[in-house]
Structures are given as structure tokens and as C-alpha cells.
Amino acid sequence: MQIPKLLTLLPEDYISTPDGMEIDHNGNLILSCPNFADFSMPSCICRIDTNHNVSKWFDVPLHEKTGEARAMGIAFGPDQDLYIVDNQGWSGDEKLAFNGRIIRVRANDNGIEKVTVVAEGMEHPNGIRIKDDYMYVTQSLLSKVETESGNLLSCVYRFHLDDENIHITNTLDDAHIFATWETYNPNDQYGVDGIVFDGDGNLYIGNFGDGEVFKITFNEDGSLKDNVSFAKDPANLRSTDGMTIDKYGNIYVADFVANAIAKISPDGTVTRIAQSPDSNGFGGELDQPGEPCVWNGKIAISCFDLVTGDDKVNTKHEMPATMSMLAIEP
């Protein structure tokens, strides 16, 4: 297995929890920071340049009702507007429950020019990817929906890039639900999270609690054709947080529970390529990896370093927050 290296220590004055990533048109790594570890810090979007220098780009626009914002998944549209998943419900604060949003932000080097609310009222939106004229958003919880088994249901929503002010009910009545999943692991009732497209336009979704990745194929009209299990290997992949893909078609998955990164080959074979014991991450160790991102010939990894529990390797949060990196090996 690889030994992860330190990409950077993040500034302590405005980052306590890093999460989602994207690459901008200048090759900078764009990082969302929900800052769940310190709610006195506004959620922000940051830049990391090719020399690994970190700077804040802008604070995430606040919800008019709650006065809060907590950015997780991010994705650039074709016009370089940034689509942001605002998952306020992750905090557990009842006042913020069912106030998640997808917002579209147009920004330049001087700050924000325009903000559009794509969808609101969401329980637990998480990851986002864009293909053609649509965005696909994972929602890890649909607690209002009762299943026959009593297990959690979660889903992927699909919105048009130009949609505005869609109200989400978090029930099966939502017309924008694209696909649903049940989570069977009784010890981790947390649903779909990581999301990525391959070069052929197939969509991969990770069910966090079951540690399983699904492959979605499309009909010619863009409707769902198949949704099948693609990779599951409990010995090498216990949970599926953020996901990314390299030019060889290998998918890299943040195994949040196990402090590890798994590689899924194009045939669905799972290999654990790096794992770290509990640590502060200051030496580049994986400190509860939340999302990987292929960038500059490496795999950049944000370390969430916040959630604890009997099944988690992570035992506490430390500052400063950290970013790790791994090599890409064919």
C-alpha cells in the first residue's frame, strides 16, 4: 500500500473542516469547507494553487431563513458557475433540519456576482456531479419515507442546470428523484454519498453504510436504463464517501470509516491502496478522508477528521485541518 503524503496544512483562522473539491479552468483545486467542527467559522470556498498555496475565495451565501450555510459537494457548470450543495441538516441542529439547498454561484476574483437557488428544503444533500445539461445530487437520508424493512432509503435527485426555486418534500412525491437505494447495514444507516461519472457517461453512486458502489447506465433519452451493484468488498471497502476517477477508468473512494482510500478497477475489483491509523494527519496521514480528487497528476484528499464512534478509526478532531495526497498508479 502507498504511504500518503501531506498536501498542505490548512489555515486555522477560516478552515476547520474541509470536504468537496473541483478543478477550476485555471487548474486550481477548489475546496469547500463546511466547517462543522467550529460553527463560528463561516462555510467558505477556497482555492489551492498548483504550488499548494491556500486562499479563501468567498464565504458561502447564507440561507435567507436560517442565516446559515454549510457547503459540501461542489461542481462547475459549463459556464464556470459553481453549484454548491448546502447541507445544513448535517449539523443535527433541529432549527436547520430540512433546509438544505443547491445554490448556483457566479463569482470572479473580487467575489460573488450572482446567487441562484436551484432547490431548497432538502434533508441531507451531499455530493454533486454534472453531465450535459443536468446535475445529479446524492441525498443521504430520506427519513420521511418508510420502507417495508424499516431500513433507510436515500436517493439521487436530477435537476436541470437552469432550474430555480424547486421545493423538495423529501418524499417519493418529488418529481426530481432519479433513483433510490435502501441501506441494509443495521449498524450504519447512512445512504448514498459519493458520486462520479466515467468517461463513457456512466454514473457511479456509493452507498455509504453498505460500502457498496452502484453503476447507472442511461437510455438515449437520458432516462435511467440500469442501476446495478458494481463493487462490494467488505475487507477492502467499508464505507463510500467521496469518489473520483482517473484517466484509466479507476475509481478512488474515500473509506471514511476505515481511514483508507480504495481503488476500484474498471472490472469492479476493489483494492485498498492506502490506510492510516488514528492520527492528527500533520504528516500527511489519512485523517478520516472525506473526498479524493484527481488533480495535477496526483490524488488530493480532504481530511474531514470529525466523526467518531465505535466503527470509526478517527477518535477526535485536531487543528489545523489537513489535506493528503497519493500517487496515481495504472
Closest by Cα among 316, 307, 257, 309 to 281: 316
Q: Are 208 and 193 in contact (CB under 8 A)?
A: yes
3-state class (DSSP) for residue 95: helix
Q: CA triplet 20, 25, 28: central angle to 5 degrees?
A: 55
What domains can you pick out in the chain, each with its CATH number?
Answer: 5-327 (2.120.10.30)
What does the alpha-carbon distance between residue 97 and residue 114 come to, in Å, rounded to a whole number? 26
pLDDT digits (tens, 9 = 90+) for 221-233: 999 999 999 999 9
| Count of alpha carbons within 13 angstroms of residue 38, beta-carbon side | 17
Q: Within 13 Å and on the Cβ side, how many CA atoms surround 127?
A: 31
Cis peptide leading into residue 125 (ω within 30°): no
Place of cell 466503527: 311
Residue type, position 204, single letter: Y
pLDDT score at 152: 98
Instruction: Mark the ranges of the chain whose per-residue pLDDT is less than 70.
Output: none
Give the integer Cα–Cα distance in Å for 284 and 261. Answer: 13
pLDDT of residue 85: 98
Q: Which residues contact 283 (CB under 8 A, 6 or more apart)?
A: 6
Query: What's the pLDDT at 330?
Result: 79
| Residue whose C-alpha is closest to residue 88's, from 78, 79, 77, 97 | 97
CB contact at 8 A, 235 and 244: no
| Partners of residue 83 on adjacent β-strands | 75, 104
